[in-house]
Structure 1
Amino acid sequence: MDTRTALLAAAAALLLAGAIGAVAAPDAIVDPREDDERPGDVRIVDTVVSPGEVRGETAELRLGVDLRHRGSTVENVTVRHRAIGADSGLLVDETTVDVGDVDGGGERTINGSVDVEREGSYRIETVVFADGERRAAQTTRVGGVAALTPDYADSRVGFTESNVWPTVAVSVSEADNETATLSVSISVTNRGDAVSEPIDLRVLVRQAESNVIADEASETVGEVRPGRTDTVTTTVEVPANYNYYVDAALWSDDVLIDETQGVANLNPRETISTNQTTEEVEFAVEDFTRGEGGDDVGGDGADAPDRGADGAGDSTPGFGPLVALVALVAAALVARRRQ
């Protein structure tokens, strides 16, 4: 056999072997470009919740959902958020974000939001759909929404908090037998990172026993640098020989930002303090009901013995009048029998 014939025979054998392999394993010959065309998959990696616009009764919760994509393009993707009351189980708000087609692999962040009431805790349920089919889900719990400061009251300027240096310092600048002029110095601190805008300081002086406003004053707190403390001083005139509460408040565009209190003791025989507290006592009905034995625990005192100014009863300790009367009757009967 010459060389040409041998080559033709080898080529024919190779063709025959390839044909047999294609028939036996049709999937053995695959276009390498189709190797990465796996079914598309999208899932939730993480969900981040942050406060958005905070209003008086409601607050916006911003939701950032990290989606991971693999395989071929996933079409018509949507992300649904539901805010459900943690205690009531009722639906509070629901929003849907239209993502569209997701491809290219890797991760991407989808932003959304829900509005909830500030009073309460919530369960945020996030679900990912593709062509209306549920693909992934995650639940995030949120609490303490009431602690968020409304945007209209958000200010980094407030009264100074110190253990020694007084926030409200009151001194007497002038006085006579009828009136006293008080100089009130109030410390204000900027806890922010930028220079504060001017705000209003209002001071009310209340007579301690009657709560009657004796005088009031207003001042403007100018720009305060970050981390600095400024002192604002104003004067008020009040009747002498009384004790007063000095109420101070910071206002911005008629919005109450912060408040504090001091005292002015002008009555040397009696003083007041800002640290006074009132103890709450729970009312229990059983403390004022009649027992089974007929003893009136909390009656009107009609059957109780009359007590003097020192709280002691009129009855003599030991034998009572009834016992003495019985003894007299018994003695009379004995004497009659002896006769």
Structure 2
Amino acid sequence: MNREAWLGVLALLLVAAAVGVVALAPGALAERTDEDVRPSRLSLQEPRVAAGEIGGERAELSLDVRMDHRGGDADNVTVEVQAVDTDTGLVATTVRKNLGTIEGDREVRTRMNVTVDRQGGYRLSIRLYEDGRRIDIGSTDVSGVDSLTPDYARTGVDFHRFGTGEGSLPVITYDIAGEDGNRTTLRTGTYLTNRGDDPAAGLELVVMARQVESNVIADRETVSIGNIRPGRTVTETAELTVPSNYNYYLDGILLKDGVIVGTATAPAKLDPSRPAPKNETREEVDFQAGDFEQTPDRGDDDGFDTPMPTQSSGGPGFGAIGALAALVGLAAIAARRHA
């Protein structure tokens, strides 16, 4: 018998064996019933929250949701995140996400972005649904949302702080660059450090001299700051001309694209006999507002200085001698009428 014949006989034997098995065990090839399918077990793990896009009024909270799946398939899985204001108890927003069917024994991760007002704190409540049935819940709290820095104001550059002790170097230093009459020119120095990982550019520094007792701004100057490399400190100088014999606060304001990103203040004592207070005591000070005029008054527009008339005891008018002469004259007239 050749090879083809042997293969044909073998195939017939296999078919006959399969028919015999079906006849002897009719349920061997039956379809699986619902009772044979393993139930799915899906549970939430501890969530993690990170800051997403931060604006001036709104903040995005990026929630990392993790689930542990065991058993059979989990169909029509949905995750719901609800943000509740912890101060008022009101629901701020609700976000839902459909994950479809989850198969196999594994950990499942998904990211949910929740946008809320940039203020106060929130409780993020998480609910897990399968085919519309809630099967697990979880929550996490977030506080200090108002302290998140908006993306437009984020920079690695800030004023370099030397310490808070009495002998520490101030954030803004100064020296006397010159004096002219009752005006003193201060040359200020400000230290700026880039603590970020990228170069910083597009910054401006505004330095102001603010008189201590009155808070009058005596002078200000704006300095454009060049590129600052990561991990580097630069010194920016500005000259301010102020009235002498007063004490001042030197205020530094750091701006990025017109947004304030940092502030600093240091004292400047031009009148050491009167110490600069810490905005907590009251003291009588001989403050002359005219010393702080930016454009002195030059009088009338005609250019002539016309003195105002004045009166004194020794000038024309009813002084002491004039009054005595008038009394003598009145007495003489009265005596003549009686004669």
Whether these two folds match at TM > 0.5 is yes
Contact 1:183 1:234 in 2 (8 A): yes
**1:201: which partner in 2?**
205
**2:230: which partner in 1?**
226
Shift of 1:193: 1.8
Paired AA for residue 224 in structure 1: I
Q: Distance in 1 between matches of 2:170 and 2:217?
A: 23
Structure 2 unmatched runs, 5+:
1-19, 282-339
- Report the 3-state secondary structure (helix = DSSP H, G, I; strand = E; otherwise coil) of the residue aligned with 2:267: strand
Q: Distance in 2 between matches of 1:49 and 1:96?
A: 16
Contact 1:176 1:240 in 2 (8 A): no
Shift of 1:268: 4.1
**2:85: which partner in 1?**
85
Q: Write the mapping of 1:148-187 to structure 2, written as runs, cut at 5 A.
A: 148-163=148-163, 164-187=168-191
> For 1:273-320, what per-residue CA distance to the aligned partner results, in whole angstroms no more than 9, with x for missing partners?
5xx1539xxxxxxxxxxxxxxxxxxxxxxxxxxxxxxxxxxxxxxxxx
Q: Distance in 2 between matches of 1:271 and 1:176?
A: 23
**2:329: which partner in 1?**
none
Q: Distance in 2 between matches of 1:278 and 1:208?
A: 11
Q: Distance in 2 between matches of 1:145 and 1:209?
A: 36
Q: Write the mapping of 1:240-259 to structure 2, written as runs, cut at 5 A.
A: 240-259=244-263
Distance 1:104 1:241, change over 3 A: same
Name the stretch that deviates more: 197-206 or 220-229. 220-229
**1:313: which partner in 2?**
none
Q: Distance in 2 between matches of 1:194 and 1:35?
A: 61
- Report the 3-state secondary structure (helix = DSSP H, G, I; strand = E; otherwise coil) of the residue aligned with 1:220: strand
Contact 2:158 2:262 in 1 (8 A): yes
2:280 aligned to which of 270, 278, 281: 278
Shift of 1:201: 0.3
Q: Distance in 1 between matches of 2:80 and 2:74?
A: 17
Q: Distance in 1 between matches of 2:192 and 2:270?
A: 25
**1:190: which partner in 2?**
194
Q: Distance in 1 between matches of 2:102 and 2:252?
A: 57
- Report the 3-state secondary structure (helix = DSSP H, G, I; strand = E; otherwise coil) of the residue aligned with 1:46: coil
Please state if 1:55 is matched with 2:55: yes
Paired AA for residue 155 in structure 2: S
Q: Write the mapping of 1:300-339 to structure 2, written as runs, cut at 5 A.
A: none
**1:288: which partner in 2?**
none
TM-score after normalising by structure 2: 0.68
Shift of 1:213: 1.8
Contact 1:58 1:115 in 2 (8 A): yes
Paired AA for residue 178 in structure 1: N
Contact 2:79 2:127 in 1 (8 A): yes
- Report the 3-state secondary structure (helix = DSSP H, G, I; strand = E; otherwise coil) of the residue aligned with 2:47: strand
- Report the 3-state secondary structure (helix = DSSP H, G, I; strand = E; otherwise coil) of the residue aligned with 1:51: strand
**2:110: which partner in 1?**
110
Shift of 1:37: 4.1
- Report the 3-state secondary structure (helix = DSSP H, G, I; strand = E; otherwise coil) of the residue aligned with 1:38: coil
Shift of 1:159: 0.5
Q: Distance in 1 between matches of 2:245 and 2:138?
A: 67
Q: Distance in 2 between matches of 1:30 and 1:226?
A: 71
**1:304: which partner in 2?**
none
Q: Distance in 2 between matches of 1:198 and 1:151?
A: 15
Contact 2:202 2:257 in 1 (8 A): no
Contact 2:173 2:190 in 1 (8 A): yes
Q: Distance in 1 between matches of 2:156 and 2:35?
A: 58
Distance 1:241 1:78, change over 3 A: same
Q: Distance in 2 between matches of 1:116 and 1:110?
A: 20
Paired AA for residue 206 in structure 1: R
1:265 aligned to which of 266, 269, 277: 269
Q: Distance in 2 between matches of 1:240 and 1:99?
A: 72
CA RMSD after TM alignment: 2.8
Q: Distance in 2 between matches of 1:179 and 1:226?
A: 39
**1:126: which partner in 2?**
126
Paired AA for residue 172 in structure 1: I
Query: How many residues end up aligned between the 2 structures?
Result: 255
> For 1:196-249, what per-residue CA distance to the aligned partner results, in whole angstroms no more than 9, with x for missing partners?
223000011122232222111011222222222211011111222222221110
Q: Distance in 2 between matches of 1:58 and 1:72?
A: 41
**1:327: which partner in 2?**
none
Contact 1:36 1:71 in 2 (8 A): no
